[in-house]
Chains A and B, each alone.
Chain A
């Protein structure tokens, strides 16, 4: 084997021993990501000088391409959310490395082994490249787990259309547990025991159902009211049932410095202790209003779905922990 002899004299000292994976030509550029360095294989046939120059030129080109791609990646990462970015970055870096590997094969100057410019596709490098930032796969929230507190639903307001005109006086006179005072309010107020709810029934056939503690209970109660109306002789249907509002409450179990909270979150908070003892926090995403009290009790309202209540509480909990009263 006279491969080492085939190298030009000035490169011989740098060439790696036969079969070694370390780059024979030192590429100690800080821009060069670790793990994607070129690993030139010993040359079989020698046209020595020109081949070496071509190798260097190709390496430089690939370096530039990698730099550009990484810069673009960084810009995108700064703009997008971390989760999507992390997934994309991993995919891009692996695909980038595979393209480097394939492009490295293009010149075909070495016929012995394929030029591997990257770790094998499908494997992630042992050390992350210095250029690509350490984007974790999971969102980089501070190392706090979920609060462990689940807000309890207290009230659900829903509406449904019975689909026919109703004679409220007939309903008030014949149904049990009904109130009707048209001078004060133009609807029949009816209540049932199970689920414990109140309904406002209007002459248009539309109905509001309040007081249920869960979505299913609200729907069930609305159906019961519809059945009552149906039994009185009206052709009641059950159209467009929709939950309009959900209210939840929970306790963070520590006192809160409302004054501090309103100072730092003034664009979201309003706190007027002379008017109301609770701080009113209007969260943008999700669009939920929270009533936060000194005792640590929190009321959440304005949700259309249960998940919004939970999400809002998970958002506010770390903020509240930051304003815990220490005295």
Chain B
């Protein structure tokens, strides 16, 4: 299983999902270090049933977890 990611990264060009998000969507930057994902998004709409929140910039920090996962926005 460890080779799957290896295959993804060594090919590099085949799955450019992050980059495709960059072009199409509002993903500004991404980072993955120490098993922590950090995303910065621009012009985001948070939609709940009743409410709609529009934001210019969102930073998402996501940790891998079995039971816990933290999500902070600013």
Residues of B with C-beta under 8 A to A196: 16, 19, 23
Q: Is B5 in contact with A181, judged by CB distance below 8 angstroms? A: yes
Contacts A177-B22, A177-B30, A193-B19; A211 near B6 (Cβ below 8 A):
no
Binds B, one of A24-32, A130-138, A182-190, A222-230: A182-190
Using an 8 Å CB-CB cutoff, how does the interface string of B8-43 with A read, 1 for contact, 0 for none? 011111001011001100000111110100000000
Find the A residue at minimum CB distance from B1. A184
Using an 8 Å CB-CB cutoff, how does the interface string of A113-138 with B read, 1 for contact, 0 for none? 00000000000000000000000000
Count chain B residues whose beta carbon lies closer than 8 angstroms to a beta carbon of A.
Answer: 19
Contacts A210-B12, A211-B12, A211-B13; A181 near B18 (Cβ below 8 A):
no
Summarize A's interface: helix, strand, loop or mixed: strand
| Interface assignment of A178: CB less than 8 Å from any CB of chain B | yes
| Interface assignment of A172: CB less than 8 Å from any CB of chain B | yes
| Interface assignment of A94: CB less than 8 Å from any CB of chain B | no
Residues of A with C-beta under 8 A to B16: 191, 196, 198, 211
Q: Is A210 in contact with B9, judged by CB distance below 8 angstroms? A: no
Tell me the complex Cα distance, A155–B31, Å: 25
Tell me the complex Cα distance, A300–B11, Å: 17
Q: Is A173 in contact with B12, judged by CB distance below 8 angstroms? A: no
Using an 8 Å CB-CB cutoff, how does the interface string of A197-217 with B read, 1 for contact, 0 for none? 111100000001011000000
Residues of B with C-beta under 8 A to A181: 5, 32, 35
Contact of B12 among A169, A178, A189 (CB under 8 A): A189
Q: Is B33 in contact with A180, judged by CB distance below 8 angstroms? A: yes
Q: Is B29 in contact with A191, judged by CB distance below 8 angstroms? A: no
Contact of B31 among A178, A185, A199, A200 (CB under 8 A): A178
Tell me the complex Cα distance, A173–B34, Å: 9
Q: Is A200 in contact with B10, judged by CB distance below 8 angstroms? A: yes
| Interface assignment of A57: CB less than 8 Å from any CB of chain B | no
Given A181-B35, A198-B16, 9 further pairs, Cβ under 8 A: A177-B29, A180-B33, A184-B9, A185-B9, A196-B19, A198-B12, A198-B13, A199-B12, A211-B13
| Interface assignment of B53: CB less than 8 Å from any CB of chain A | no
Residues of A with C-beta under 8 A to B13: 155, 157, 197-198, 210-211
Please give the distance in Å from B62's CB to the nearest CB on chain A.
13
Q: Is A179 in contact with B35, judged by CB distance below 8 angstroms? A: no
A-B contacts, 11 listed (Cβ < 8 Å):
A172-B32, A173-B31, A177-B22, A177-B29, A177-B30, A179-B33, A185-B6, A197-B13, A198-B16, A208-B12, A211-B12
Contact of A191 among B2, B5, B18, B35 (CB under 8 A): B18
Tell me the complex Cα distance, A155–B15, Å: 13
Contacts A173-B31, A176-B31; A184 near B12 (Cβ below 8 A):
no
Q: Is B31 in contact with A191, judged by CB distance below 8 angstroms? A: no
Find the A residue at minimum CB distance from B7. A185
Contacts A189-B9, A210-B13; A179 near B31 (Cβ below 8 A):
yes
